[in-house]
């Protein structure tokens, strides 16, 4: 049989040593920093982190001008450490988890906060709030063979040069081995999967013309600019 049409190629990210990292799926951890859980109105001692998914095509490289998406008036940044999976596994133990990591990058989990809150408060799925076109900007993926497995170090985000998020990777409620162990209980992780590990406190809205920079100690920055309304 011949295909009726061609789909776009699988999305890919770039590594710090000039290779292509094909992106298979995107997992995102929610409420993984206590101060952020509290700013979202939740008690981190009573509600553990969790995860949701996004399409691989939401991943865009650092340097992209992303369109302001439709159906929101409260589009937010979330700075995150991103884990790139290089080895498949299911029900991975915390002890083995780091063997499954190819590398690490800075990233953003851009969010239609108004739609996310509406969904959350009505007990509906989060797709329209989170699985947003161009909503997963990603910096270069640094191989763990070069940078190790960062578990401490500054994670910061600026908007037009002003610091808005300023925390430390040590503040993660679930660290990287715990995140990998948890997600892999539900899904077999595969090469090319990305796990956005959650954002610290200080999230907020963006407007057209803003420049957002995420920095994590030892990794390349992820920089985006916010463009005009999608389709406008």
Number of CB atoms found within 10 A of residue 125's CB: 12
Q: Could you give the CA distance from residue 185 to residue 71 in angstroms, rounded to a whole number?
A: 34
To the nearest whole angstrom, how small is the minimum distance from the Cβ of residue 196 to Mn ion?
6
> Which residue minimizes CB distance to Mn ion?
109
To the nearest whole angstrom, how small is the minimum distance from the Cβ of residue 200 to Mn ion?
10
To the nearest whole angstrom, how small is the minimum distance from the Cβ of residue 36 to Mn ion?
9
Q: Could you give the CA distance from residue 176 to residue 187 in angstroms, rounded to a whole number?
A: 16
Q: Is 58 in the site for Mn ion (CB under 5 A)?
A: no
Q: Is 193 in the site for Mn ion (CB under 5 A)?
A: no
Number of CB atoms found within 10 A of residue 142's CB: 23
Nearest residue to 108 (alpha-carbon basis) of 229, 3, 26, 34: 26
Residues from 8 through 47 that contact Mn ion (CB under 5 A):
none
Half-sphere exposure of 204 (CA within 13 A, CB side): 11
Q: Which is nearer to Mn ion, 76 or 143 (CB)?
A: 76
Q: Could you give the CA distance from residue 131 to residue 205 in angstroms, rounded to a whole number?
A: 17
Q: Which is nearer to Mn ion, 28 or 213 (CB)?
A: 28
Residues from 111 through 170 that contact Mn ion (CB under 5 A):
none
Identify the three-state secondary structure at position 163. Answer: strand
Identify the three-state secondary structure at position 168. Answer: strand
To the nearest whole angstrom, how small is the minimum distance from the Cβ of residue 108 to Mn ion?
9
Task: Print the binding letters for residues 101-120 with Mn ion: x by CB under 5 A, - otherwise.
Answer: --------x-----------
Q: Is 199 in the site for Mn ion (CB under 5 A)?
A: yes
Identify the residue among 78, 85, 129, 169 touching Mn ion (CB under 5 A).
Answer: 78
To the nearest whole angstrom, how small is the minimum distance from the Cβ of residue 130 to Mn ion?
8
Number of CB atoms found within 10 A of residue 8's CB: 6
Residues forming the site for Mn ion (CB under 5 A): 78, 109, 199
């Amino acid at each position: 049989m011949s295909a009726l049409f061609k789909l776009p190629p699988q999305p890919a990210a770039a590594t710090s040593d000039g290779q292509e990292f094909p992106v298979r799926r995107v997992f995102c951890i929610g409420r993984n920093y206590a101060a952020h859980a509290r700013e979202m109105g939740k008690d981190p001692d009573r509600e553990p982190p969790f995860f949701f998914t996004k399409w691989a095509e939401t991943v865009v490289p650092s340097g992209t001008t992303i369109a302001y998406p439709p159906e929101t008036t409260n589009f937010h940044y979330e700075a995150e450490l991103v884990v790139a999976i290089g080895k498949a596994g299911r029900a991975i133990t915390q002890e083995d988890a780091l063997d499954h990591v190819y590398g690490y990058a800075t990233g953003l989990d851009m969010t239609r906060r108004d739609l996310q809150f509406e969904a959350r408060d009505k007990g509906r799925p989060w797709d329209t709030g989170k699985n947003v076109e161009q909503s997963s900007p990603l910096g270069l993926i640094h191989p763990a063979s070069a940078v190790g497995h960062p578990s401490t170090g500054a994670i910061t985000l600026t908007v037009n040069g002003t610091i808005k998020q300023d925390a430390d990777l040590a503040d993660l409620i679930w660290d990287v081995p715990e995140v990998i162990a948890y997600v892999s209980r539900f899904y077999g992780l595969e090469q090319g999967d990305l796990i956005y590990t959650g954002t610290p406190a200080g999230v907020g809205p963006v407007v057209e013309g803003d420049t957002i920079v995420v920095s994590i100690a030892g990794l390349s920055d992820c920089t985006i600019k916010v463009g005009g309304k999608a389709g406008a």
